[in-house]
Amino acid sequence: MDTSTIANVDMAAAWDGPDGDDWTDHADRYEASGRWTWARFEQDVPVGRTDDVLDVGCGTGKSTFSTACRAPEGTVLGVDLSSRMLAYARAQAAAEGVTNVTFLQADAQVEPFAPASRDLAISSYGAMFFADPVAAFTNIGGALRPGGRLAFLTWRRFEENEWLVTIRRIAAQDRELPDPPAGIPGPFGLADRDDVTTILDAAGYRDIEVAPRDEPMYLGADADAGWEFVRAMGIVTGLTAELDDASRADVFAQLRALVDEHTGPDGVVLAAASWLVTATR
């Protein structure tokens, strides 16, 4: 990737580096974690058979493939900062025989997309990382045909997401940590409803709707699978790295108990809170 065409330099370093590597190494787990939210997204967001779609922050390609199946006579362009995630997506497309998808390593905030070439722009938790979200959504909007649509999923505020609050509290082991703020590039960059509306209005969108979605987070088919996922999460490995052996063992015991407590007939499930944002260009 030509670094001269990157506006989000810090995010590129993370996602075309350790964050992207971690996601790729555990793609099946991460892609499955949002299964219910994505199913609800597909119910809520229509895709025409001939639609040309832009998938922003497509990662390892689950959202791209799913959308391509809904637009068999159209095309889907998946864009991401991570070379490894895109390589995984391309390999999956070849293995599954999905021929109406293309993947591009690029920064969607500044990439010169073909003007008025897309009917729909989507993102599954990939649009929260822009340094200048107004510029980014303006640029994405430029790729949409007149009347083209935008639809994306993003996290609500940290404190509304039980799955993350609980895991982080246990892993912190009584250390006082500030809650991650809304409105800065990162997982909660678009967590504030009013901010999202202001950003999209400034970027030239209309018919803006920001609707809550409370589908749970799926962490595994059973307690053992859920535990393997939780113990490998970046937030857990990061917060336990400097603990002594006894303290780390105590954290792991509490996290395992959390997983066991939330294991049921649907697997390991914790509450999550997202926004579904839709708009028209």
Domains of the chain, each with CATH number or no CATH: 3-161+177-219+269-280 (3.40.50.150)
In this prediction, residue 2 carries a pLDDT of 52
To the nearest 10°, report the CA torsion of 177, 157, 235, 178.
Answer: -10
Place of tokens 């967590």: 191
In this prediction, residue 1 carries a pLDDT of 55
In this prediction, residue 144 carries a pLDDT of 98
HSE-up (13 A, CA, CB side) for residue 47: 28
In this prediction, residue 71 carries a pLDDT of 98
CA distance linking residue 53 with residue 216, whole number of Å:
27
Any residues with CB less than 8 A from the CB of 258 and at least 6 apart, and which? 166, 167, 170, 230
Torsional class of 263: left (φ above 0), alpha (ψ -120 to 50), beta (otherwise): beta
CA distance linking residue 128 with residue 153, whole number of Å:
9
**Which residue ranges in the chain fall short of pLDDT 50?**
4
In this prediction, residue 174 carries a pLDDT of 86
Q: pTM to 2 decimals?
A: 0.95
In this prediction, residue 6 carries a pLDDT of 86
In this prediction, residue 33 carries a pLDDT of 97
